[in-house]
Amino acid sequence: MRSPSVKEQRALVDRLTASCGGHYSPERRRKYFISGPQWAAAYQGQALFHAPTREPVSYSEVISHYAEIGIGYWTTHDTDVVPTEDLMTERQQKIVADIKKTLRKHGLKCSMVTTETFFHPVWATSSASESPEVRAYAAARLENTVAIGHELGAQFVVYWPGTLGYLTQGSIDEIQTLRWFAESINAACLKDIALASEKKTSTMRHCLEAKPFEPQGEIILPTSDAMLAFIGSGLLKHPEMVGLNPEYLHELMWGSAPRAALARALVAGKLWHFDINDGYRLKHDVDIGVALVNPLDWLNVLILLRSHGYQGPFNLDFKPPRTTSNYGVFKVSFPTAVDRFITLWEIAGEALEDKILKEATEALKAGGATKKGNGGAKEIFDANKELWTLHELVAHRLVQILLGVHRGRKFA
Ligand code: GLT
Ligand code: MN
Ligand code: MN
């Protein structure tokens, strides 16, 4: 094959993307509560051992590209759009006013805002630091994010506590740290209540996001389950305002089953926001696009969420790989991620309607008919033992549905 020029490379990417067999229309994509983070689209490909591979992208570019693609909601950290030194100044107000205009112009809504409490050196001892100045500054930053959220009409605010942990055992007092962390969340909730009553609007949903490690070796609130315990610990003034933003990969990173973690959050009534992506068990936060690694698990996750009426946002918290160009971020990364999600959502709907799965689950729930014996263990087991083979058949059927085999594959 002849080596293509850069211009030909773009044409090749376009042609092969189109050859993948079509895509959902922007109108259709907008029907889902799918949000695109500013930081995901603007990620330049840098990491500890990696220099950036992409040019910076401004919020207006991100918002206009999301509009073209059909991503209806936009999410951001405070410092994704306002430089740290401009926060809580008039300069911030100007930027926020411009963002509002840009969102309106492109027909997007801001659904979530979040505070960056991990990147700047001020957070080296975390936002729940021993230093009272750092803690007061952290609380002010959270309150400021809530104010930005109200200004932009966001319903959700997320807190990923980043450096809330340690590299060396014993260097911090965990109990004190948890109390201090709660103080900032309390300040944010009180600010929210005050703003909502002043503006006669509703309060926001404050969502905690866990990650088991990175950037610290040990994290104090490493999992969604730990965060559920924290919400119920008595340290929060308004636990009813605080819920979860689990991230798919963060649950895999500690070796759990994300679907089970989501189920526990649903049972607690705290699954409010969901970061969607993919990656590998017990490894790093690689933030790969949704369903590129574990499509079957993703199908199962969406079956759970569909059947239990999850109504919250699906936030595309993935990182386009370093090998993808600036052009590719908006031509390939985001549209294909959205389309894989919608396809799996639709397939989850098909699975819920599948006659074989329905009959199998109903039969399992009915249980095997016992004869009129004494109801002992052996009798119960004997009455069910052929029925329970259906577990494996259910798994087989789900794979068939994922692969589209149920639509009719010729086995010749
Ligand atoms: C950071 C983290 C993400 C969080 C973002 C929100 S920041 O990129 O790895 O999972 O959702 O603070
Ligand atoms: Mn996330
Ligand atoms: Mn992640």
Residues 316 and 360 in one domain: no
Query: 151 phi and psi, to 5 degrees?
Result: -60, -40
| Cβ 35 vs Cβ 75: under 8 Å | yes
Q: Where are the alpha helices (DSSP H) in 276-318?
A: 295-307
Quick check: 30 pLDDT over 90?
yes
**260, two tokens:** 């089970």
pLDDT at 408: 80
Beta strands in 133-213 (DSSP E): 156-159, 165-166, 205-208
Q: Whose CA is nearest to atom 4 of ligand 1?
A: 160
Q: Is 396 among the residues known to form the active site?
A: no
> Taking residues 163-187, what's their average pLDDT?
97
Inside any domain, residue 348: no
* Tally of residues, the chain: 412
Quick check: 22 pLDDT over 90?
no
Instruction: Write out residues with Cβ below 6 Å of ligand 1.
Output: 39, 77, 114, 158, 160, 209, 247, 275, 285, 317
What is the Cα–Cα distance from 74 to 142, expressed in whole angstroms? Answer: 19
What is the Cα–Cα distance from 303 to 299, expressed in whole angstroms? Answer: 6
**pTM recorded for the entire structure:** 0.97
241: CB partners within 8 A, 6+ apart: 189, 192, 203, 204, 205, 206
Inside any domain, residue 363: yes
What is the Cα–Cα distance from 167 to 155, expressed in whole angstroms? Answer: 35
**What are 121-165's pLDDT values in tens digits?**
999 999 999 999 999 999 999 999 999 999 999 999 999 999 999
Inside any domain, residue 306: yes
Q: Which segment of 272-276, 282-286, 356-360, 370-374 scores lowest on mean pLDDT? A: 370-374
Kindly calculate the radius of gyration of the chain based on its CA atoms and give it in whole angstroms: 24
Taking the CA of 75 as reference, the closest ligand is 1
> Taking residues 323-328, what's their average pLDDT?
98
Quick check: 374 pLDDT over 80?
no
| Cβ 81 vs Cβ 126: under 8 Å | no
Peptide bond into 161 cis (omega under 30): no
Q: Using the structure block, give the residue that is written with the tokens 């200004």.
A: 151
Residues 130 and 217 in one domain: yes
The number of the ligand 1 atom at minimal distance from the alpha carbon of 250 is 10
Residues 84 and 110 in one domain: yes
Quick check: 305 pLDDT over 80?
yes
Inside any domain, residue 8: no
Catalytic choice (23, 78, 80, 354): 80
Query: Whose CA is closest to 244, among 185, 319, 320, 190?
Result: 185
Last residue of a domain, one of 343, 363, 390: 343
Residues 96 and 56 in one domain: yes
pLDDT category at 107 given cuts 50, 70, 90 is very high
Last residue of a domain, one of 317, 343, 369: 343
Q: How far is CA 330 from CA 52, 58, 65, 113, in A?
A: 17, 13, 7, 22
Quick check: 302 pLDDT over 70?
yes
Residues 227 and 361 in one domain: no
**How many angstroms from the chain centroid is the CA of residue 134?**
28
Taking the CA of 160 as reference, the closest ligand is 1
Residues 335 and 385 in one domain: no
Domain count, the chain: 2
CB burial readout 326-339, b (16+ within 10 A) else e: bebbbbbbbbbbbb
pLDDT category at 322 given cuts 50, 70, 90 is very high
Q: How far is the CA of 138 from the centre of ligand 2 (A)?
A: 20
Q: Is 206 among the residues known to form the active site?
A: no
Last residue of a domain, one of 292, 316, 343: 343
Q: Whose CA is nearest to atom 2 of ligand 1?
A: 160
Inside any domain, residue 219: yes
Q: How far is the CA of 7 from the centre of ligand 1 (A)?
A: 34
Domain range spanning residue 233? 26-343
pLDDT at 72: 98
The C-alpha angle with vertex 305 and arms to 299 and 311, in degrees rounded to 5, equals: 135
- Kindly state the helix (H) or strand (E) to which residue 112 belongs, with its residue range: strand 109-114
Quick check: 329 pLDDT over 70?
yes
pLDDT at 373: 66
389: Cα within 13 Å, side-chain hemisphere: 5
Catalytic choice (65, 77, 273, 406): 77
pLDDT at 364: 98
Q: Whose CA is nearest to atom 12 of ligand 1?
A: 160
Tell me the best of 46, 112, 126, 209 to mutate to test the pocket of ligand 1, counting ligand atoms within 8 Å of each CB and taking the most. Answer: 209
What is the Cα–Cα distance from 154 to 114, expressed in whole angstroms? Answer: 10
Residues 69 and 196 in one domain: yes
Q: What share of the chain has pLDDT > 90, as a percent?
A: 95
Inside any domain, residue 186: yes
> Taking residues 262-274, what's their average pLDDT?
98
Residues 249 and 295 in one domain: yes
What is the Cα–Cα distance from 366 to 352, expressed in whole angstroms? Answer: 18
Q: How far is the CA of 318 from the centre of ligand 3 (A)?
A: 7
Inside any domain, residue 412: no
Supply the mean pLDDT for the chain.
97
Residues 310 and 398 in one domain: no
Q: How far is the CA of 287 from the centre of ligand 3 (A)?
A: 5
Quick check: 371 pLDDT over 90?
no
> Taking residues 77-100, what's their average pLDDT?
98
> Taking residues 257-272, what's their average pLDDT?
98
Inside any domain, residue 106: yes
pLDDT at 410: 72
What is the Cα–Cα distance from 66 to 33, expressed in whole angstroms? Answer: 13
Residues 378 and 321 in one domain: no
Taking the CA of 247 as reference, the closest ligand is 2
What is the Cα–Cα distance from 297 to 291, expressed in whole angstroms? Answer: 8
CATH code of 77's domain: 3.20.20.150
Residues 88 and 50 in one domain: yes
pLDDT category at 259 given cuts 50, 70, 90 is very high
Query: Whose CA is closest to 252, among 242, 267, 265, 262?
Result: 262
Q: Using the structure block, give the residue that is written with the tokens 């997007």.
A: 108
What is the Cα–Cα distance from 191 to 243, expressed in whole angstroms? Answer: 17
| Cβ 152 vs Cβ 201: under 8 Å | no
**What are 155-170's pLDDT values in tens digits?**
999 999 999 999 999 9
Residues 178 and 75 in one domain: yes
pLDDT category at 409 given cuts 50, 70, 90 is confident
